[in-house]
Amino acid sequence: MNIDIDQLTEDELVELNHRVVERLKFLESMHTHKEMMQFNPGEQVSFEPPGRGKQIGTLVKFNKKTVTVITESGQKWNVSPHLLRKVKNVTSKNKKAGNVVNLPHKK
């Protein structure tokens, strides 16, 4: 695509700039929304914040650009959805596969 902007006035360039910025914001919003829809509230997720270890928690809320996660230690984090990973529930997996794990009972 070849767009000639050399003939546009300053006012037209400013208007074009505003329209481009708004369009980019809209596309970013749509991309974030699509990433969020891969998760559900109540789902176990993990993420790795810079300088800290892997955090595991429960997704509790969708925000405009982030999701709120409450970690196992009770911390509240607002995390970009592209940083999240689903946590597989081993117990559910074993039940689906028909595997039963018997643990010894203490008396």
Domain of residue 80, CATH code: 2.30.30.140
Report d(CA 70, CA 81) in Å as an integer.
14
In a domain, residue 5? The reply is no
Instruction: Report the pLDDT value the prediction gives residue 90, as an integer from 0 to 100.
Output: 54
Report whether 34 contacts 15 (CB < 8 A): no
Does a structural domain hold residue 103?
A: no
Write out pLDDT tens, residues 66-79. Answer: 999 999 999 999 99
What is the number of domains present in the chain?
A: 1
Please indicate, yes or no, if residue 101 is contained in any of the structural domains: no
With respect to residue 44, please indicate whether it lies within any of the assigned structural domains. yes
Let me know: does 48 contact 36? Beta carbons within 8 Å. Answer: no
In a domain, 46, yes or no: yes
14 part of a folded domain:
yes
| Overall pTM surpassing 0.85 (yes/no) | no
> By residue range, what is the domain housing residue 16?
10-88
- Token pair 């925000």 is found at 63
Provide CB contacts within 8 A for 68, sequence distance 6+: 59, 60, 61, 62, 76, 77, 78, 79
